[in-house]
Amino acid sequence: MDAEQAARKLLIEGKSIRAVQRATGLTYYRVRQLSALPRFQVVTKHNARRVFGYTDIHWSDRDEHALAIAQHAQGIFAPDVTVLGGDLLNCTAFSRHPKRKLDHDEGYDYLESELKPANRFLDEVQRWTRDETVLLEGNHDEWFERWIRNTEGAMGLQSLLPSRYLCQRDAFRYVSFSPGRDKRQCNYQLAPFLVATHGWCAPKYAAQHHLDRAKDISIIFHHTHRFDDRAVPLFRGGPIRATSAGCLCKRIPMYAHNGSPTDWTHGFWVAFVGRQSFTVYPVLIANGSAVLPDGTEVRA
């Protein structure tokens, strides 16, 4: 940082012209010139919350390379809060997916191939998170609970519910997918003007659909596995923004019978949340790497 940059920084921080002159060695006249340039009010200085977001992983159908890049990025970013956007698990055997393949369940072990490794993954995620880790439940994560409720004699397996098994940890929050009878909170409020959710719908142009429903609040959504980002002004205030960064599962899912390509993208998101505003960066993973907002390039 040269002397003039240092002077601008000190002036923005509210230092007097004399103090800046002494600190930088510039002339009084030059510092006064610099002080006349437009100043920006610093609402939060160094204390915007740093948030890292994992997109849909679908554990048994995860893309290991993309997930490894996201994990490296999380470690470098060192977030205060980490949000897992839902569908951490795939819960294949409990799906009622109309496209489910006949050989889907062969060799599938829910506990050993999904729940236990996902639990260890959460340990790692928490190791690189300063404050809180938030797991948004996705529709896939909820399938096991639906299966238990609808299968005779299965109620004894409740200890294997993701909402129980994965939650034996501190500084952790599990956000349900369905409101249920106890009116559970289904979204995570990052700030009064910003929520993160698994996803309210999955049509093409889902960002606009989420904005239509959000009305006057910005939203980070998942579920669609597609990159999508849209901001619109409000008549008073705003703009509001809806952002989706893609997914971390295979881009051709296991239920695709003919291997037809999808429009899914690999990515994760980071956000800086201040007291009055925020910036979200959906980060695409392309050609085996991703570039963070500070310019750091991450490879697996």
**Residue 56 three-state SS:** strand
> Is the CB of residue 77 less than 8 Å from the CB of residue 270?
yes
Q: Which is nearer to Fe ion, 87 or 228 (CB)?
A: 87
Piece of the chain touching Fe ion by CB under 5 A; list 16-24, 26-34, 86-94, 269-277: 86-94
Binding segment toward Fe ion, per CB under 5 A, in 19-27, 52-60, 165-173, 209-217: 52-60
Nearest CB to Fe ion, comparing residues 50 and 282: 282
> Of the listed pieces 48-56, 156-164, 205-213, 251-259, which binds Fe ion according to CB under 5 A?
48-56
Give the span between the Cα atoms of 70 and 64, in whole angstroms.
Answer: 10
By beta-carbon proximity to Fe ion, the closer residue of 136 and 273 is: 136
Considering the complex, what minimum distance in angstroms separates the CB of residue 246 from Fe ion?
11
Contact with Fe ion (CB under 5 A) among 8, 49, 52, 56: 56
Identity of the residue numbered 162: P
At its nearest, how many Å lie between Fe ion and the CB of residue 225?
6
Instruction: Kindly state whether residue 63 participates in binding Fe ion, applying the rule CB under 5 A.
Output: no
Q: How far is the CB of 180 from Fe ion (least distance, A)?
A: 20
Q: State the DSSP H helix or E strand holding residue 230, giving kind and residue range, or none if neither.
A: strand 227-232
Query: Using H for helix, E for strand and C for coil, what is the string for 168-222?
Result: CCCCEEEECCCCCCCCCCCCEEEECCEEECCCCCCCCCHHHHHHHHHCCCEEECC
User: Which among 43-51, 79-87, 93-101, 151-159 is the span making contact with Fe ion, rule CB under 5 A?
Assistant: 79-87
Among 61, 63, 87, 228, binds Fe ion (CB under 5 A): 87
Closest C-alpha among 140, 135, 120 to residue 249: 140
Least distance (Å) between residue 224 CB and Fe ion = 8
The DSSP bridge partners found for residue 84 are 54, 135
Which H or E element spans position 280? strand 278-284
Quote the CA–CA distance of 299 and 285 in Å, as a whole number.
9
Task: Please tell me whether residue 228 binds Fe ion under the rule CB under 5 A.
Answer: no
Nearest-angstrom CA–CA distance, 276 and 267 = 26
Which lies closer to Fe ion via its Cβ, residue 87 or residue 114? Answer: 87
Residue 132 binds Fe ion, judged by CB under 5 A: no
User: Could you tell me which stretch among 9-17, 56-64, 127-135, 229-237 binds Fe ion (CB under 5 A)?
Assistant: 56-64
Binding site for Fe ion (CB under 5 A): 56, 87
